[in-house]
Chain A
Amino acid sequence: MLKIGETSTQILGLAWWKWISIALILFSLTAGMILDVPKLPILHETIRNLYYHVTQWFGMMIILTASLVYSIIHLSKGDRRSDIIASEGVNVALFMGVLGLLTGMLWAKNTWGTYWTGDAKLNGVAMGMLVYLAYTVLRGSMDEEQKRGRVSAVYNIFAYVMFMVFIMVLPRMTDSLHPGNGGNPGFGGYDLNSNMRLVFYPAIIGWTLLGVWFINIRVRMKSIEENRLSKSHQ
């Protein structure tokens, strides 16, 4: 049996951290639209996308890192639970990656004038998507549980490192339109006034918690599926 989150204190039928996730995301959605933002050339009001695009990506990276940690745990302990958490982590991270991609494309359209450019950072993202889609294909191609766990954990660790090289190291070496790369200042360089930080950090926590919530549900679905399967075999 897989057990996750069943011990946390519940408020009105929901675990306390799920309420925090809802509250923080609602807060970032409303406050992100209402509060004052710095007036900058080209960006203008689109700077509000910082609250959505960047935070979704931060959430995705945090979840991918968690998935990596669970893959390492799986390799050292060989338990089923960490394997399932790692794989569902990748699924949820892919979903959040698509969200971040869509919001990023909208932003690019309004500031760079096009939805997609051959920018180093954007290519890195496309490559990351391919790697993690390959991960899901790899999992699907194996039936035996033990082997699937080990092989996909190995690929997950390898993929994570290459992904990091691609989006952290390479864009800094070339010209890039993306903030924080190719000699451009990151958004920390523009004075994010305290208003923006007030929304930015809570939004990251909110999206990450939402991702954890998704993983939680999917892991429980998997465990129910497996229980039914083992019952039907008896």
Chain B
Amino acid sequence: MLAQVKTLFLKEFTLEWRNRYALNGMLLYVISTVFVCYLSFRNVVSVPVWNALFWIIMLFASLNAVGRSFIQERKGRLLYYYSIASPQAFLLAKMAYNSLLMLVITFLAYGIYAWWIGDLVQDHLMFMVALVLGSTGFSLILTLMSAIASKTENNMSLMAILSFPVQLPFLITLIKLSKNAVDGLDASVSYGLITVLALIIVIVLALSYILFPYLWRD
């Protein structure tokens, strides 16, 4: 099982590395979105706006980055994976890869955002926690949604419809946590929020693990 996950994870990584246009496309997407925000907002001084804007950019970036993970797979290749690996291993490999990808993109996006629009964060450590939790949660939720959307015909538009409302509880909690970090509030205020975020991640992981085999059969 673990060996399967590892092989599939490396396969995802190699594939991505070999045709880098997708990776570059995502980076360019983040950069141009931040640039558009920079041009339209110039300088954001209000903390709630700064915070919300960042996470909305991340929401759309994650939809673009992770959303294609199942949709891009061709039917024939999926059939091949089905015959050599267990569904759970396949899902876990996808999730692990997407989380790593999102983690990198999120940190890059934060760097660019802080550089252009300004860095208002006061408690950097807590904000890093928010970035890690946020990127992981987004990618886990979107991986399952991508698996669901790939079963339908016009999958990219359905992807947004399906995943935005499901992501909402996570997003709202995340925005609260990140706002606490930006405001530099005492860490003890945020423990409850971190627990909720971790709880949602665990729930999503468990549900995906149980439900994915049913999507797999075709």
- Give 1 or 0 for each of A124-138: 1 = CB within 8 Å of chain B CB: 100110110010011
Contacts of B196 in A (CB 8 A): 169-170, 173
Known: A127-B165, A169-B196. A158 touches B144 (CB 8 A): yes
Contacts of B207 in A (CB 8 A): 157-158, 161
Answer whether residue B88 sits at the interface, using C-beta atoms and an 8 A cutoff.
no
Answer whether residue B32 sits at the interface, using C-beta atoms and an 8 A cutoff.
no
Say how far A166's CB is from chain B's closest CB, in angstroms: 4
A161 to B168, Cβ gap below 8 A?
no
- Docked Cα-Cα span, A173 to B191, in Å, equals 12
- Give 1 or 0 for each of B133-173: 1 = CB within 8 Å of chain A CB: 00000000000100010011110001001101110110011
Contacts of A130 in B (CB 8 A): 164-165, 168
Answer whether residue B198 sits at the interface, using C-beta atoms and an 8 A cutoff.
no
A155 to B162, Cβ gap below 8 A?
yes
Comparing A52-60, A145-153, A216-224, the segment that makes contact with chain B is A145-153
Answer whether residue B25 sits at the interface, using C-beta atoms and an 8 A cutoff.
no
Contacts of B192 in A (CB 8 A): 173
- Give 1 or 0 for each of B177-218: 1 = CB within 8 Å of chain A CB: 000000000000000110010011001000100010011011
Answer whether residue A162 sits at the interface, using C-beta atoms and an 8 A cutoff.
yes
- Docked Cα-Cα span, A128 to B173, in Å, equals 16
Answer whether residue A141 sits at the interface, using C-beta atoms and an 8 A cutoff.
yes
B214 to A137, Cβ gap below 8 A?
no
Q: How many residues of B contact A (CB 8 A)?
A: 29
B158 to A138, Cβ gap below 8 A?
yes
Q: How many residues of A contact B (CB 8 A)?
A: 29
B214 to A75, Cβ gap below 8 A?
yes
Answer whether residue A154 sits at the interface, using C-beta atoms and an 8 A cutoff.
yes
B169 to A155, Cβ gap below 8 A?
no
* A127 in complex: contacting residue of B161, B168, B173, CB < 8 Å: B168
Specify the chain A residue showing the minimal Cβ separation from B193: A173
Contacts of A123 in B (CB 8 A): 168, 172
Known: A130-B164, A157-B207. A170 touches B173 (CB 8 A): yes
* A154 in complex: contacting residue of B153, B172, B199, B215, CB < 8 Å: B215
Contacts of A128 in B (CB 8 A): 165
Contacts of A153 in B (CB 8 A): 214
Known: A150-B217, A169-B196, A170-B173. A131 touches B166 (CB 8 A): yes
Answer whether residue A192 sits at the interface, using C-beta atoms and an 8 A cutoff.
no
B200 to A141, Cβ gap below 8 A?
no
Contacts of A23 in B (CB 8 A): none
Say how far A78's CB is from chain B's closest CB, in angstroms: 9
Contacts of A165 in B (CB 8 A): 169, 199-200, 203
- Docked Cα-Cα span, A124 to B154, in Å, equals 28
Contacts of B172 in A (CB 8 A): 123, 170
Q: List 17 A-B contacts (CB under 8 A).
A: A75-B211, A127-B169, A130-B164, A138-B158, A141-B153, A141-B158, A142-B152, A142-B153, A147-B218, A151-B148, A151-B215, A159-B165, A165-B169, A166-B169, A170-B169, A170-B172, A173-B192
Chain B positions near chain A (C-beta within 8 angstroms): 144, 148, 151-154, 158, 161-162, 164-166, 168-169, 172-173, 176, 192-193, 196, 199-200, 203, 207, 211, 214-215, 217-218
Going nearest first, the 10 A-B pairs with the smallest beta carbon separation are A130-B165, A166-B169, A131-B165, A141-B152, A127-B168, A154-B211, A151-B151, A134-B161, A165-B169, A162-B166
